[in-house]
A and B are shown apart, each in its own frame.
Chain A
Amino acid sequence: MDIQKRVEGDVSILSLEGRLDLTSSSTLKEASKDVLKNESKKMILNLDRVDFINSSGLGALVSILKEVRNSQGSMKLTNLAPYVKEIFDITQLTNIFDIFPDEKQALASY
């Protein structure tokens, strides 16, 4: 999985590309931990280019969300592809995460 990081104001945006599975989960967790510790408590994960996500990938997202909330921060997700949206619906994670159609709307919500 490729992760591109950039900062808009006081919000860190991580754009993910590839498969979010067991192998890539730890990379994502490390990257978000680093953001929380060194950059910002406000984070956006752009999933536009995530073409596959499985149980381990979902587990990673839930665990990152818990960590962000424990640090009094907030995390939003954007650009869920239809497949990702479907698995979020099945697992009801749509009710747990703040999800926005695009980065612009997610940024405006901060």
Chain B
Amino acid sequence: MSAISVKVDETGEKRPVSLSEIVIKLKDPDRMERENAALELISNPKPEIAENLCFLLADPDISVRNLVAEVLVKMGTASSDALINEASSTDHDVRKFAVDIMALVKDHEFIPILIKLLNDPNENVIGSAAEALGKVTSAEAVEPLIECMNSHPDSSFQAIEALGNIGSIEALPVLFEKLESDNVVLAYAAVEAIGRINSPGAIKKLLSLMNVNNSELRNVVLTTILKNAGSGGRDDLYNVSGGKFVDYLIEASSSDDLEVKKAVISELAFWTGDEVVESLIGALKYPDEEVVNLARGALRIAGSTGLNAVIKGVKNGPDSTKINLIEISSFLKSPELLKSILNQANSENPDIRITVAKTLTKYSNQESINTLLKLADDEVGHVRVEALRSLGLVGNNSVINEIVKRLDDEYPDVCEAALGALVLIGGDKTIDLLKNGIESPDLQKKIMSVRGLGWIGENQAVEILADALSNEEAEVRRYAVVGLSKMGYPDLESKLTYLLADEDPEVRKAVVDAYLNISGEGAGEKIQVLLDDDDMWVRFYAINALASLEDTSCLDKLLEIIPAQPPFVQIAIINLIARADDPKVESELKKFAESDNEDIQNAAREALESRNAI
């Protein structure tokens, strides 16, 4: 054998590698060696190479046989002559293997030998040859396959499938005969083969089977038609003796065969009428999520052709059906349907009332808004939450008063939903009502009002928030700082100075955040004032803020206060001063590394390590 590649050996010399060496490597115990040899061969797709490989098709080791088969398939038609030779081997296993590879190479040159093999003494070879002819697909093979189907019962299934794949109408008469077969596997295979041929005659024949008594066969026929004839919705094309095609679809939609059910529901989207819609609504109850989703999708398309059925479903269906129908209702755009949805706001089931509340965002007429207002007063908190969220999206000035009332709801999520709705609606009226809210005797309402004004963030809210900085309630002052800081209020910095001394630590913390937000790097100098704060948490907060700014300009102050701090504040200071570029930090950290407190010790050691690493 000639050399097909070169290899660099241990001495660095290049030497030619012969084909026989590579072929032997296909049997190497090392998987990598075998795969490399296969790749080498695949990159040299030549007939003589394929010919020299074929003897391995008889190898006792199946992994070798499979590897050789893979190489021959990937070599494509370069392996055709070698495979044709092997198909005449005296070993029937080799013949079968060669034929199986032919089915993947799909060269028309194989047709004569494959036809010949339909009369092979070995039944397995015949079955493989029939299957391979179905893959190569040639009209020449139709007649021999029909003969094979009739004379070799064990290979009939493969022959029928092959005839379907070839798609020649010549095969239809015999396939029609097979529909009568006592062997149901062959009859179903014939149905599928006829479907693949997909000529008007084939579909007509299949449609004529729709009224057979065997419901399983009917479903195979139905799914075959749906798979091959495209989407319908056109009874004129589907004239079925004994009934309308759509009637069969409706009947099959209640089949327990999941595949049939899914195919039929998808098809029903293209048909019209109350009965179609009713059967789709029926499928909403099926305990399979995919089926329910398909039915919902089909109802979005077909639902408007059967509004009576949809309205009936919303009124009288089981709760899960009602919920599904209400959710998809906006696609159907019907005033009558909307009316029945609005009625469901009185349902005893809160899940239905929640679904109504969510769905009404798709409608912005006054009736829907009135229903949302009613639901915003519902006895169940979650219903109130959803109604308020929807009112935020579709509401207007007329609903603001009602939403404001919910700012002091007993259920915190309702308060938050009301706040969100007011922020979305915004505008002068909302701002005025929230201003009144700050003056309300109810603390909760005051707080929600000041928060709302901060989020609304309009210029008209600025003065109100600025006034709120001196409100008697600490929480109000705090949220006024937060709101103004978010809005970037230019005069805030001057007002923050006196709030640094606010009696409430939470306000002082908010001031730290505000400085970080509006003063940038200059914030450090202002925040340092809080290192002497009476509240340890404010000191802690200020130190962390300085750390986020990497501001160690107050190092001496930090070293002065550290001994008197509680451990967690000491650790925060250690983490901050570790960043200072000053030699005295080192000795201070060493002292803390010997602390009795293990956490302080660890923080100091880590700080020292990080300084050494730098």
Residues of A bordering B, CB below 8 Å: 19, 21-22, 52-56, 58-59, 62, 83, 87, 90-93, 95-96
Contacts and interface: CB of A to CB of B under 8 A. Distances in A.
B82 interface: no
B434 to A, nearest CB: 11
Contact of A92 (B417, B426, B487): B417
Contacts, number: 55
B481 to A, nearest CB: 15
B458 A90 contact: no
A53 B488 CA distance: 11
B416 interface: yes
Nearest to A23: B459
B424 interface: yes
B545 interface: no
A92 B389 contact: yes
A54 B457 contact: yes
Nearest to A91: B420
Interface in B402-425: 416-417, 419-421, 423-425
Nearest to A57: B457
B75 interface: no
B423 A52 contact: no
A59 B486 contact: no
Among A55, A56, A93, the one with the most B-chain Cβ atoms within 10 Å of its Cβ is: A55
Contacts of A59: 424, 426
A21 B459 CA distance: 10
Contacts of A52: 457, 486-488
Interface string B474-488: 000000000000111
Contacts of B426: 54-56, 58-59
B603 to A, nearest CB: 28
B458 A22 contact: yes
B76 interface: no
A82 to B, nearest CB: 11
A18 B440 CA distance: 35
Given A52-B486, A52-B488, A91-B392, A21 B423 contact: no
B369 interface: no
A54 B420 contact: no
Contacts of B427: 55
Given A58-B426, A92-B392, 18 more contacts: A22-B459, A52-B457, A52-B487, A52-B488, A53-B457, A54-B426, A54-B457, A54-B487, A55-B423, A55-B426, A55-B455, A55-B458, A62-B393, A62-B424, A90-B420, A91-B420, A91-B421, A92-B420
B458 A56 contact: yes
B360 to A, nearest CB: 14
